[in-house]
């Protein structure tokens, strides 16, 4: 029931996801009266779907604390509870992010060793695709938070992006060791010393995000959210200036017509819908947040992310990695003689 055009685009998106993932089955949680007419249009989807009825919804402006008190029987609450009970392999929502995180923590609990969930997403770079986290779940982060994000991002890059030896960098204002504030410096210190088989490359800067200098960019939720939206805004600026350039003369218009096919591929590559589906990492279960303003194609992509994470046993892999890390940190220091 969340997002700007639910439940219509959710069901249309689910039908696209069904075609891509023929083994997937769907539970639509929300108001049966609103869902049924849309579902009626997709007979093949209907055959692999059920409706879990509730008229309670969490609104876009509901505070997380209120969602926790009153939202357990809402469509979002029931959907997450279905993951907890194992009736669903994962949940996708285009609704209120804060509420999704709060209810996710309530029903699914954190993976032991992870203090806070992080929002992660992948994005295009000059060298392929990278993942960045946190994108807004945690406004202020300790060094421990950042270290945990690094480990979760590394598992994500291996399991969902399929990279064998993903590299990790911490976002900072310079590459030198002394740059930045205590949290980034302390986190870098821990990651440099860990004996886990991870590839920590040190600090990276804002322009390294799209350069693809590392596969996993680790940052606090404030900086990550600003960086993500700045990148989106810059792409929009560039795209708008390009549109104006192609309209500025007859030659340019003709040029556009000739290059249209190639430019269409460029547009598809940078299409925000392609990168829709932010993951809430650190919970005992798969929780994916779709952009509220996306369309059916974007929603289908978010569902695809959830299916990938569930199929790869993502939460379990993070749990194993964190266990090793926690054990390592708790082990007594070896004396150096």
Cis peptide before 199 (omega within 30 of 0): no
Q: Which is nearer to a copy of itself, 23 or 257 (CB)?
A: 257
Q: How far is the CB of 51 from a copy of itself (least distance, A)?
A: 32
Beta carbons of 24 and 17 less than 8 angstroms apart:
yes
CA 190/CA 69 separation, integer angstroms: 38
Residue 63 half-sphere exposure toward CB, CA atoms < 13 A? 3
Nearer to a copy of itself, 8 or 272 (CB): 272
CB of 30 to a copy of itself, least distance (A): 25
Nearest approach, Cβ of 214 to a copy of itself (angstroms)? 13
CB of 118 to a copy of itself, least distance (A): 14
Given the complex with a copy of itself, which of 221 and 304 has the nearer CB atom? 221
Q: Which is nearer to a copy of itself, 25 or 63 (CB)?
A: 63
Cross-strand partners of 199? 167
Residue 302 C-beta: closest distance to a copy of itself, Å: 20
Calpha distance 248→257 (Å, rounded): 14
Nearest to 218 by CA among 161, 146, 155: 146
- Identify whether the C-beta of residue 191 lies closer than 8 Å to the C-beta of residue 133: no
State the Cα–Cα distance between residues 309 and 136, nearest whole angstrom: 20
Residue closer to a copy of itself by CB (options 50, 241) is 241
**Residues within the interface to a copy of itself (CB under 8 A):** 124-126, 136, 139-140, 171, 173, 180-181, 205-211, 219, 221-223, 225-242, 244-246, 248-249, 251-252, 254-263, 265-266, 269-270
């Amino acid at each position: 029931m969340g997002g700007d055009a639910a439940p219509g685009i959710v069901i249309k998106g689910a039908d696209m996801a069904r075609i891509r993932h023929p083994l997937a089955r769907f539970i639509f949680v929300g108001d049966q009266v609103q869902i049924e007419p849309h579902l009626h249009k997709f007979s093949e989807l209907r055959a692999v779907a059920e409706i879990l009825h509730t008229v309670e919804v969490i609104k876009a402006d509901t505070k997380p604390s209120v969602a926790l008190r009153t939202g357990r029987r809402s469509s979002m609450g029931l959907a997450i509870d279905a993951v907890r009970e194992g009736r669903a392999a994962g949940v996708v929502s285009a609704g209120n992010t804060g509420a999704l995180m709060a209810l996710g923590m309530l029903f699914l609990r954190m993976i032991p060793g992870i203090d806070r969930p992080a929002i992660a997403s992948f994005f295009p770079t000059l060298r392929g695709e990278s993942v960045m986290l946190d994108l807004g779940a945690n406004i202020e982060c300790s060094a421990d938070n950042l270290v945990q994000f690094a480990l979760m991002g590394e598992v994500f890059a291996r399991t969902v992006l399929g990279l064998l030896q993903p590299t990790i960098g911490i976002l900072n204002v310079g590459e030198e060791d002394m740059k930045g504030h205590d949290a980034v410096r302390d986190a870098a210190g821990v990651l440099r010393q860990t004996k886990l088989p991870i590839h920590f490359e040190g600090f990276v800067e804002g322009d390294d995000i799209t350069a693809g200098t590392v596969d996993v960019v680790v940052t606090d939720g404030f900086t990550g959210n600003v960086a993500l939206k700045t990148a989106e805004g810059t792409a929009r600026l560039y795209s708008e200036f390009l549109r104006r350039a192609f309209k500025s003369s007859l030659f340019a218009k003709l040029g556009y017509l000739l290059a249209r096919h190639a430019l269409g591929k460029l547009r598809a590559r940078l299409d925000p819908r392609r990168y829709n589906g932010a993951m809430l990492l650190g919970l005992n279960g798969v929780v994916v947040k779709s952009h509220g303003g996306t369309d059916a194609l974007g929603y289908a992509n978010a569902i695809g992310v959830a299916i990938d994470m569930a199929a790869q046993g993502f939460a379990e892999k993070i749990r194993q990695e964190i266990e090793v890390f926690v054990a390592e940190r708790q082990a007594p220091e070896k004396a150096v003689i």
